Structure 1
Amino acid sequence: MRGVALGLTAALMLAGCATTVSPVEVTRFHLGEPIARGTIMVAPLGEAAPSLEYASYAAAVEQELARAGYSVAQGNLGTEFVADAGFTRANRVGGPERSPVSIGIGAGGFSGGRRSGLGLGGGLSFGIGGGKGGDIVVSELSVRIKRRQGDEVIWEGRAQTEARGSNPAAQPGIAAEKLARALFAGFPGRSGETITVK
């Protein structure tokens, strides 16, 4: 029984640490030519007024643009490029959450010390960490890089992921970093190709 108790304790600890990480679906488009670098600023896509949530996405995009070789400027300082960034978050109803861990407890044969071949056997299996269903938060980030002069779009991309509302991955700050990192992975990427980034 001690071994069963130890196994149960270990599984409970594992269930507490288990998190489901959803992949990010990324699609990018460009002209197939080398993407020019230079000074760039991030601006809201469309006419939506910036918000605190937008600030999380803008900061994540700025960080990835810097990694991609751009010199990020704050404010409208006559940069060579503008990165229009926008995001959406929507809820959809999800199904029951499946348990990440299943434990099986079995009883071996017992014959009272005799080799009679008779025995008792049984098994019990139950899930740990499962829960009721909840809303799925679908987060999407869109970025369009254009030259300031002439408004010529030289690159654009979209990244989308989802997570249960109770999962930390659904929080705006975490989702923004995850989406931006996936969107700019291997920048500029293959034009017109949809990839999955884990």
Structure 2
Amino acid sequence: MPRVRTTSALSPLLIAAALLAGAPAALHAQPYGGGWGGGGWGRDPFGPYGANGRDSRTGSEPSKKVDVTTFRAADAGSALGQGPIVIAAVAPDGYDGSEDNVEPDAKLPVYEAAVVDQLAGHGYNTATSGADGGQVAEVAVSHSVVQPEEAPHKPVSGAMSTTISNRGSGVGLALAVDLSKPKKAIIGTRLEVRIRDKATRRVLWEGHAEGVAREGEAGLDNTAVATRLATALFAKFPEGTEVAALQP
């Protein structure tokens, strides 16, 4: 199973028929619950990448495809895409501070910034802080190792063979030179966004986008990944699969 490195993990989502418990509208870290679908929207623990740790759609190389799923409240009406909106931090679920996990807030601001750009481009007023009314966009990000980094290559390898017969003996030697660098790990990233009415905490829209990318010498290019996922996630905003509204 791939080793998961969590930037900001999610608590399970409620099914559509569930009722959302009342919660304060403060914009500090809070659990990422109260939406549609099952935990993680029912995703396979390996996603589209296969149990062998490789992207099953493209072999050993990372796919450029981004998988997107979105939901929209049946009674959202014209509320989406207008008015003030702020980004709310999402409390990590089960983060234990171990070295196998990334500090929850270390990369999240990069993804939040990409989401803010998309929200502004779709009519929201993002130049606000703590304004009364409006909406809240909750953002969460998680990473998983889809394909580990290759082991270091041997620069020189070879094989030797010896033959002996009634005509004499011989020695054969074959050398292989490999100066290529090991391939870096392929990382899967999942960006999730939920938009709520700030006053009532009612969910208006939510969606997630998943993609893979190979790490560079300096690690994963989170800026590029964030832009790619956020752009795909909001490409058809505010469209989404229409579902029953969840009342607080």
User: TM-score by structure 2 length?
Assistant: 0.50
Choose from 210, 226, 238 the match for 1:176.
226
1:44–1:50 contact (8 Å) kept in structure 2 = no
Q: Which residue of the partner structure matches residue 188 of structure 2?
A: 138
Per the alignment, residue 97 of structure 2 pairs with none
Does 1:191 pair with 2:236?
Answer: no
Q: CA deviation at 1:52?
A: 4.2
Give distance in 1, aligned partners of 2:197 and 2:133.
9
TM-score (norm 1): 0.61
Contact 1:169 1:175 in 2 (8 A): no
The Cα shift of 1:92 comes to 2.4
The structure with the larger Rg is 1
How far, CA to CA, are the matches of 1:22 and 1:56 in structure 2?
Answer: 20
Asked if 1:44 is matched to 2:98, the reply is no
Contact 2:92 / 2:104 at 8 angstroms: preserved in 1? no
SS in structure 1 at match of 2:240: coil
Paired residues for 1:9-158 under 5 Å: 22-32=64-74, 33-36=76-79, 37-46=82-91, 51-93=105-147, 132-158=182-208
CA distance in 2 between counterparts of 1:79 and 1:28 reads 24
Counterpart code for 2:192: S
User: Shift of the alpha carbon at 1:166?
Assistant: 3.0
Residues 169 and 52 from structure 1, CA distance in 2 versus in 1: closer, same or farther, beyond 3 angstroms? closer
2:153 maps to: none
**Does the CA contact (< 8 Å) of 2:66 and 2:229 recur in 1?**
yes
Indicate the structure with greater helix content.
1
Per the TM alignment, residue 94 of structure 1 is displaced from its structure 2 partner at its CA by 5.4
Given that residues 45 and 85 in structure 1 are in contact (C-alpha distance below 8 angstroms), is that contact kept between their aligned partners in structure 2?
A: yes
Alpha-carbon separation, structure 2, partners of 1:169 and 1:184 = 26
Going from structure 1 to structure 2, the CA distance change for 1:62 and 1:69 (only over 3 Å counts) comes to: same
| Residues 1:50 and 1:149: Cα distance change in structure 2 (over 3 Å) | farther
CA RMSD of aligned residues (A): 3.0
Residue deviations 1:72-99 (CA, integer Å, cap 9, x gap): 1343233410000111112122598xxx
Structure 1 residue runs of 5 or longer lacking an equivalent are: 1-18, 97-129, 193-198
* Greater fraction strand: 1
Task: Please tell me whether the aligned partners of residues 73 and 79 of structure 1 are also in contact (alpha carbons under 8 angstroms).
Answer: no
Identity of aligned residues (%): 29
Q: CA deviation at 1:56?
A: 0.8
Match of 2:154 in 1: none
Instruction: Measure, in 2, the Cα distance between the counterparts of 1:55 and 1:40.
Output: 16
1:165, 1:79 → 2: CA distance? Answer: 41
Aligned length: 141
